[in-house]
Amino acid sequence: MPASYARLAATAAILGGVFVLLGVGISGVVTPGYDATRDLISAAQLGPHGSLVTLGLTAGGATTVVFASLLQRILPPGNAIGPALLVVRGFGTLFAAAFLADVGPVHTLSGLLHVLGFIGGSLAFGIGLFFLAGRMNEDDTWQRLAPYTVVTALASLAILGLFVALGPRYVGDTGAPLSSVGGLIQRFLTVTTWGWNIVIGGWLAMRPAASPVGT
């Protein structure tokens, strides 16, 4: 692969993951009365330091689109479904950044787009990783990353399913079975998915010429 593509992809992947995790983590610590175990990330975004979440998600979404576009070129040749779904994940993250959640049940267009961005982007990420793993398996160097990518896909979809099925439906929901740990579940999902970006980006940074240019 061209070294410049690998370096750009590595930078985009690492920065995206770091910005999201820092924005979410710091806002949860500095927001008064916020309980990261119970409260959703969206609640921190609505708080006095919500700009930290918004900036982190904006950076993460934008860099994910760049990262996904470069992956199409540097992965072993194959279909573009995986990178395309990663692009969807990037735009979903941008939607979650741009449109604030509602307090209580969703009743505004902004709240609906926020939820669709989070759920749709997370779903696209989980499904897309299966296709990316398939392309990784076509090259001996990339192949070592395929099992991790599949495990991440399975874990992210399982956590997302748990969150949607049993977690809080909206900011302030206390009636869901797992509402008391809704924030913790969402953070597991956040660390699992954005951690994958950081791991892949770190690998690319250390192995900038690991595989041929894709189609």
The per-residue pLDDT for 89 is 98
For residue 183, give the 3-state DSSP assignment. helix
Residue 151 covered by a domain: yes
Domain hosting residue 73, numbered range: 3-206
Q: Are 174 and 148 in contact (CB under 8 A)?
A: no
* Residue 2's pLDDT band (cuts 50, 70, 90): low
Residue 80 covered by a domain: yes
Structural domain count, the chain: 1
Helical (H) or strand (E) element with 143: none
Q: Give the C-alpha separation, 198 to 78, whole Å.
A: 23
6 closest CA partner among 210, 215, 179: 210
**Residue with the larger pLDDT of the pair 203 and 2:** 203
The per-residue pLDDT for 123 is 98
Q: Are 150 and 122 in contact (CB under 8 A)?
A: no
Residue 149 covered by a domain: yes
Which tokens sit at 20?
Answer: 């999201």
Arithmetic mean of pLDDT, 30-36: 96
- Burial environment of residue 133 by CB neighbours within 10 A (0 to 12, 13 to 18, 19 or more): buried
User: In the predicted model, is pLDDT for residue 74 greater than 80?
Assistant: yes
**Average pLDDT of the chain?**
94
The per-residue pLDDT for 214 is 42
Arithmetic mean of pLDDT, 160-170: 96
Residue 56 covered by a domain: yes
Residue 25 covered by a domain: yes
Q: Give the C-alpha separation, 29 to 178, whole Å.
A: 22
Residue 214 covered by a domain: no
The per-residue pLDDT for 207 is 78
The per-residue pLDDT for 111 is 97
- The distance of Cα 189 from the centroid of its chain, to the nearest Å, equals 8
Residue 211 covered by a domain: no
183 closest CA partner among 49, 56, 28, 47: 28
Measure the CA dihedral 107/113/114/118, to 10°. Answer: 130
With a pLDDT cut of 90, the percent of the chain lying above it is 92
